[in-house]
Amino acid sequence: MKLTILGTSSALPTSERYPSAHVLNVHERLFLIDCGEGTQMQLRRTRIRFGKINHIFISHIHGDHIFGLNGLLSSLSLMGRKSTLHLYAPENFKRILHSHLNDFEINLSFEIEFIPLSGKDPVLILDDKYITVTSFPLQHRIPTFGFLFREKEAERNIIRECITEYQIPTVRIPAIKKGADFITHDGVVIKNSDITTPPAKPLSYAYCSDTKYFERLASFVKGVTLLYHEATFDKSMDDLAALTCHSTTLDAARTALNAGAGNLLIGHFSSRYRNVQFLVDEARSIFPDTHAAVDGTSYMVDETITP
C-alpha cells in the first residue's frame, strides 16, 4: 500500500496546501478519497494516471471535499474514458451530482455506479480479491463517513527448493499455498509449514475526515496500520473544535492511541497555521508515532512511516 497526499488544508486552501484529497495505491489499483479543489492539478504534479482511478470515495458534502469532483469527471470524459466509475458518497449527493450534469448539459462518456453511504454503524462497501473497504459514521455537522481499507491475507509462499526436493506437481501448488500439507508418492506427509513461508502481514489504512472526538471511533479502526485523522485545531482551541464538530491534535492522538494504530498522520489543518510542526508535537505528547501529512508526498503504509 502507498498513500499519496494531494491536499491537507481545511476550508481555505493556502499557497502551500490544497483542500482534502488522497490517493491510495493497493496492488497498483488506485482509490481516490475526497476530491477538493485542485485535485486534478495535484494528480498531474504527482504523476498519477487519471485513468487508473476506478473508485472515488467522498466523506461528506462540504466544498473543501468535493469542489474538485465535477471538474475531474468532466476531464475523464474529455479523455475518452469508457470504463465504469464507482462513486461512494452520502446518499443525498446523487441528486446533486445529476443536477450538475443536467444543468451543464454534460454527457459523460462513461457510466457512474453510485453507492450511497448511510447508517450509524460500519458497513462493508467493497470486497474484492485484494481488499475490503468499510465505511463508518463520523460526527460532523452533516452526515460524514470515514473509510477503512484492509488488505486480505495473501496465500502462503511455497519454497522453490522444496518443489524440486519433494517433486511437487504444479497442480498441487495452489492447495499448498492455501495451507494444505503435501503427501509424497510414498505416502509421507510433508507439513505445510516445512515447505512454505507465511505471507506478509496484511496492511490497513483508515481515513477519518471531519469529525469531533467520540470514543466509539477508535473501535471502528482498531489495529489499523496507518490512521489519517483530521487535526484542524491546536489543543487550545477545543471550544471552537467542539462548536464546529472538528478535532484538535489531542483528539486525533487519543483516537490513535485507543485504536492501537501503528502510525498517525494528521491533516486538514486550519489556514491559520503556516507551520504545523507544533501541532505534531502536541499530538506526540499522547501518541509518539505522529506525523504531519504533507501535500504532494507519498507514504508507504507499513509499521514505519516512510515518505
Q: Which residues are part of the catalytic machinery?
A: 64
Grid coordinates standing for 272? 491559520
Q: What is the CA radius of gyration of the chain?
A: 22
Residue the block writes with cell 441528486: 95
The answer to whether 195 and 176 have CB atoms below 8 angstroms apart is: yes
Backbone dihedral angles phi then psi of residue 178, each to the nearest 5 degrees: -85, 0
User: Which residues make Cβ contacts (< 8 Å) with residue 159, sequence separation at least 6?
Assistant: 195, 196, 197
5, 22 contact by CB (below 8 A): yes
DSSP state of 50: G
Long-range contacts formed by 71-74: CB under 8 A, 24+ apart: 71/39, 71/40, 72/35, 72/39, 72/40, 73/106, 73/108, 73/112, 74/106
C-alpha cell at 140: 460532523
The backbone torsions φ and ψ at residue 38, rounded to the nearest 5 degrees and listed phi first, read: 90, 5
